[in-house]
Structure 1
């Protein structure tokens, strides 16, 4: 080797990423090999052996480190993404072990500035916001499990004080920890409306198909039917002047109420606070202040809608969706039909879908996606990053960039998505920028770059500028 062992050891102590790919670090006491930049605790120099490449380390009987993933690095995968995903997995498993963003950066083996860049690219979020979200999710899970001591719950979730935990919990869930616990034993709960919530837009959006069989809007009330453990359930949202009363019919128990709460927040676009976007782009807030990206009840529903909506007009897409729900869904309260889950759709035959007027290709794509999801090979919520979820979606038959970006945006809630090729988006961009023709894919991305990292919300604004209701 062209470097002395003393120099190489200094480089691994410094976690020098510039030496990744130049040398492999073998740790004889643990039987693993690492990248020089591995964030793990460094071994004593006498326990280290340096190799020129991965093959040499493997020939010596060493296995790849699970933290720095040298095997992924040498396969040409994104090293930063690999480390980030490994760190995210550790945080999700034990959020209380990470006191702050510095601890998360240490786990990922990068500096805080680099960590924020990785989060912006791959999660469309800030590290601090991610940490808070994971901590509160852990707190909710413990409450569902029956944990009752709220003071202990705060510390177990990674908070140093009960007051800090209570404030963060209410901001993320719309309820105090005590109210959330009470909800688990009830069939209803009340949320305070987020500041500036455009209630009329929420109702128009979810009721945009007036003939829908799985949603219904009457006055200031919204009903949504879905499957809960294979059985039909119906969620009702009744909007008051400043709050939303949510009730569940057809299912009960802590797990059912926890899911009902999650769905209600998704339908309200709870996590998509528009303040940062409106500050950066005040020209958008004048006609539509408070607009939010509203999500589907679950990611699979967004994927079904995206596949059905490929290369057809909205009216026909609505009709296809209604027919599919009638064919594969189950009757629910209020005369609605619960949207089918992946198993119900996967149980259909191609002929069943062809009878519903799906093309042969569209039927193939839908059945393939449903089969993958039903078998557990397409658990979209299990992917820690938008990058990983998009890669998996694009591996599906018939799933192109538009479908993947739509699902990332409306099914998974990622905030910096661009459904390139969307007819409504290109028309809105043409009008907004006074173009002679609709922009192509490259120009669409160029025009939308100005709205990063809020391009999902910018897309909703552009859609809304056409007819007042996004697609």
Structure 2
């Protein structure tokens, strides 16, 4: 079954940001980049599917090819909502740029990167499980674990791309399967914990997609109650899973490195000792866009 949609894009939309985020795995196990097109293996109502997003000037074309299923009336609007979220079109970046584009320390960076939006994962569960997998290791190591985990799950679309596993499939994995994927016991326990919580509706990740912004602090608290999930994992999940732009990513090493570099360029800040706590304080005045600023810092420091 094929579902096709199109969405208008702002004239300053930056396709490379989304394509580079989803194309991080050079082995293209579950995502591949073909010019300006992202193809991603995913599960749609439990069925293997291939999501294709073609980014053109002023327009995104979205196709979803689902194996072995019939269409239902809810599929088209659900696909539109998914694409808008993944493309960052729900993010109010214009207000952020207007508020801080003339800031004495970060204003030049923001103006140079005008139009930057945060690419979002296909589902909150993917964002949360990816954040757990990537805790306290390098990006290269995290991508390797993710690739192995996807292969161990073994869900494949007819196109050949593997599909990122959902809570149902992860919950069925045993310790040997996680070990073959290189996942530590602590991370395996956390992944199983969130999978069972989702299936038992104790962790309504998809329902939170419809939550107003003022509820995200409560959602953050609910996530932090899960063993093995700390502040960085929570705020990264809310950013990559929901596009929430106010999580404080002061615990992110790359964010702190970028802040330290900015401080060195400002004589007023050169003597400022940068700890996690002081990085949190430095980011606080940029609320409600602290996570968006972190994304700008990531991009600014990217090789």
The separation in 2 between residues aligned to 1:412 and 1:238, in whole angstroms, is 22
Aligned to 1:465: 300
1:286 matches 2:111:
yes
1:306 maps to 131
Name 2:76's counterpart in structure 1: 257
Partner of 2:62: 246
Indicate conservation of the 8 Å contact 1:196/1:290, yes or no: yes
| Structure 2 partner of 1:136 | none
Say whether 1:217 aligns with 2:52. no
Q: Secondary structure at the match of 1:293?
A: coil
Unpaired runs of at least 5, structure 2 = 102-106, 265-269
Deviation track 1:35-71 (CA, whole Å, cap 9, x = no partner) reads xxxxxxxxxxxxxxxxxxxxxxxxxxxxxxxxxxxxx
Distance across 2 between alignment mates of 1:415 and 1:187: 30
Deviation at 1:329, TM superposition (A): 4.5
Measured at CA, do residues 302 and 438 of structure 1 come closer, stay the same or move farther in structure 2, by a change above 3 Å?
farther
Structure 1, unpaired ranges of 5+: 1-184
Q: Write out per-residue CA displacement over residues 182-235 of structure 1, whole angstroms, 9 at most, x where no aligned residue.
A: xxx972122111231101222122212222322111101111221112111111
Alpha-carbon distance, 1:439 to partner: 2.5
What per-residue deviation string (whole Å, max 9, x for no partner) do you get for residues 398-447 of structure 1? 00111111111111222211123111111111112225787222101111
- How many residue pairs get aligned? The number is 284
Corresponding residue number in structure 2 for 1:445: 280
Q: Is 2:187 the partner of 1:362? A: yes
Please give the alpha-carbon distance, in whole angstroms, between the structure 1 residues aligned to 2:168 and 2:86: 23
Q: Which of the residues 222, 226, 230 maps onto 1:396? A: 226
Deviates more, 1:229-238 or 1:330-339: 330-339
Tell me the residue number matched to 1:419.
249
What's the TM-score, normalizing by structure 2? 0.88
Check the 8 A contact 1:308/1:317 in 2, yes or no: yes
The 1:197/1:427 distance shift into structure 2, 3 A limit, reads same
In 1, Cα distance between the equivalents of 2:284 and 2:250?
Answer: 12
Q: Which residue of 1 aligns with 2:174?
A: 349
Aligned partners of 2:169, 2:76: CA distance in 1, in Å? Answer: 23
| Between structures 1 and 2, the one with greater helix share | 1
Aligned to 1:460, the other structure's residue is in SS state helix
Q: Distance in 2 between matches of 1:332 and 1:344?
A: 15
Measured after TM superposition, the shift of residue 253 of structure 1 is 2.9
Partner deviation per Cα, 1:356-392 (whole Å, 9 max, x = no partner): 1111111111111111112211112434411221111
TM-score (norm 1): 0.58
Alignment of 1:3-402 (within 5 A): 187-250=3-66, 252-282=71-101, 283=107, 284-383=109-208, 384=211, 385-402=215-232
Q: Distance in 1 between matches of 2:253 and 2:56?
A: 36
**Is the Cα contact below 8 Å between 1:228 and 1:256 reproduced in 2?**
no
Distance 2:41 2:4 in 1: 16
The 2-side partners of 1:216 and 1:436 are apart by 45
Is the CA contact 2:11–2:57 (under 8 Å) kept in the aligned structure 1?
Answer: no
Contact 1:330 1:339 in 2 (8 A): yes
Query: Could you tell me how far 1:333 is from its partner in structure 2?
Result: 4.2
User: Which of the pair has the greater relative contact order for Cα pairs under 8 Å at 6+ separation?
Assistant: 2
Give the conservation status (yes or no) of the 8 Å contact 1:329–1:339: no
Q: Higher Cα Rg: structure 1 or 2?
A: 1
